[in-house]
């Protein structure tokens, strides 16, 4: 893909150290990867208004990247220099495709690779991927090794859960530590629990203790809404970093900890976000140039509108109009009319 950044890796304090994770100040603040949410348009907005220490891409299928459908999926691996350091998150069940995809990710200029071993969605689990790998630890270790082999000097990390139907955190963590990824992010729920119960942060000391002196970092994820809360959890439970997901909805300023935004600020950034999304993923010349016309549905933006537009008089009416909007020009017109 012609547009993907292929310049030298992110410039760190030690340019000879390829593993950027080792140079970040702890606790490390990470934006969680979320499908149809954390695309490059949203990441660019966040980078402008409140950048985390690390960005992740949406998860991308290794099998798809090694098929005739590669060109369309490459759209999800697009990034700009403003988003560095950035980690490509991949998923699948075939070690050979992880190896080939890791080679591709390295060629595309990413700073790291993360393996999704935690997504609970049924259609993904049926493929033997993501959280299903918790039930197949030997295959999981083979996948991590294949990814490391293909990644060269890029650091390889894992994002996962504490178990499949029930927690088997200690056993599962032990298997992962044998494979020596650079870091493991634990979402503190089982696959069965989805996000229906509170995250079990009290389990964090188990992998933290197990990882001591191994060189493997442990990150935590689940129910964290602010950077202040993330720092508090890092201190209390001893994790090296915290991944924040849903707290970013409607709040690109999250990692800056800015709180004095006006309603006009929020709505204008929403319009900016919409225009960037449409330019990248709509039927535009930019999209044709970057992604050979592989677009994304404009309705993806509407989950953002629910978060941007709330908590003020007239919000429900504005939100209703936005949910019926079909392009960025209409969104901008609705906002202008509301702001008077």
Any idea what the CATH number is for the domain that residue 185 is in?
Answer: 3.20.20.70
* pLDDT by position in tens, the chain (length 340): 333 433 333 333 444 457 999 999 999 999 999 999 999 999 999 999 999 999 999 999 999 999 998 999 999 999 999 999 999 999 999 999 999 999 999 999 999 999 999 999 999 999 999 999 999 999 999 999 999 999 999 999 999 999 999 999 999 999 999 999 999 999 999 999 999 999 999 999 999 999 999 999 999 999 999 999 999 999 999 999 999 999 999 999 999 999 999 999 999 999 999 999 999 999 999 999 999 999 999 999 999 999 999 999 999 999 999 999 999 999 999 999 999 8
Per-residue buried b or exposed e for 189-208, using 16+ beta carbons within 10 Å of the residue's own CB: bbbebeeeeebbbebbebbb
Span 157-184, pLDDT tens digits: 999 999 999 999 999 999 999 999 999 9
Task: Judge if 152 and 37 occupy the same domain.
Answer: yes
Backbone angles phi, psi at 114, to 5 degrees: -120, 140
Among 62, 119, 130, 173, which one carries the catalytic annotation?
119
Task: Judge if 238 and 94 occupy the same domain.
Answer: yes
Task: Judge if 215 and 105 occupy the same domain.
Answer: yes
- For residue 222, being part of any structural domain is answered with yes
- For residue 3, being part of any structural domain is answered with no
- For residue 12, being part of any structural domain is answered with no
Q: Tokens in use for 191?
A: 């696959």
Task: Judge if 216 and 314 occupy the same domain.
Answer: no
Task: Judge if 321 and 209 occupy the same domain.
Answer: no
149: region left, alpha or beta (phi > 0 left; psi from -120 to 50 alpha): alpha
Domain extent, residue 311, equals 263-339
Angle CA(162)–CA(189)–CA(84) in degrees, nearest 5? 85
Number of domains in the chain: 2
Task: Judge if 110 and 152 occupy the same domain.
Answer: yes
**Which of 256, 291, 310 finishes a domain?**
256
Task: Judge if 24 and 120 occupy the same domain.
Answer: yes
Assess whether 119 carries a catalytic annotation.
Answer: yes
Span 191-218, pLDDT tens digits: 999 999 999 999 999 999 999 999 999 9
pTM for the model stands at: 0.93
**What pLDDT is recorded for position 340?**
87
């Amino acid at each position: 893909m012609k547009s993907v950044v292929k310049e030298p890796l992110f410039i760190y304090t030690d340019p000879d150290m390829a593993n950027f994770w080792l140079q970040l100040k702890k606790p490390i603040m990470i934006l969680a990867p979320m499908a149809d949410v954390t695309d490059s348009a949203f990441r660019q907005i966040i980078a402008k208004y409140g950048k985390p220490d690390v960005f992740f891409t949406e998860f991308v299928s290794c099998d798809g990247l090694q098929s005739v459908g590669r060109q369309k999926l490459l759209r999800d691996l697009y990034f700009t220099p403003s988003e560095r350091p950035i980690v490509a998150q991949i998923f699948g069940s075939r070690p050979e495709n992880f190896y080939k995809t890791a080679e591709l990710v390295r060629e595309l200029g990413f700073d790291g690779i993360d393996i999704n071993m935690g997504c609970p969605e049924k259609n993904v689990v049926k493929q033997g991927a993501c959280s299903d790998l918790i039930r197949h630890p030997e295959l999981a270790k083979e996948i991590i090794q294949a990814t490391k082999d293909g990644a060269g000097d890029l650091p390889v990390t894992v994002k996962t859960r504490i178990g499949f139907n029930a927690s088997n955190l200690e056993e599962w963590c032990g298997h992962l530590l044998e494979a020596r990824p650079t870091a493991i992010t634990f979402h503190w729920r089982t696959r069965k629990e989805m996000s229906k119960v509170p995250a079990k942060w009290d389990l964090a000391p188990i992998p933290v203790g197990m990882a001591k002196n191994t060189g493997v970092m442990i990150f935590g994820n689940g129910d964290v809404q602010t950077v202040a809360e993330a720092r508090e959890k890092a201190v209390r439970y001893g994790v090296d970093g915290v991944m924040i997901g849903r707290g970013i909805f409607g709040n690109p300023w999250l990692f800056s900890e800015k709180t004095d935004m006006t309603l006009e600020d929020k709505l204008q950034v929403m319009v900016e976000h919409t225009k960037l999304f449409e330019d990248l993923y709509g039927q535009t010349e930019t999209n044709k140039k970057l992604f050979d016309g592989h677009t994304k549905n404009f309705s993806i933006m509407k989950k953002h509108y629910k978060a941007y537009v709330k908590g003020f008089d007239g919000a429900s009416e504005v939100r209703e109009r936005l949910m019926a909007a079909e392009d960025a020009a209409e969104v901008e017109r609705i906002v202008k009319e509301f702001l008077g």
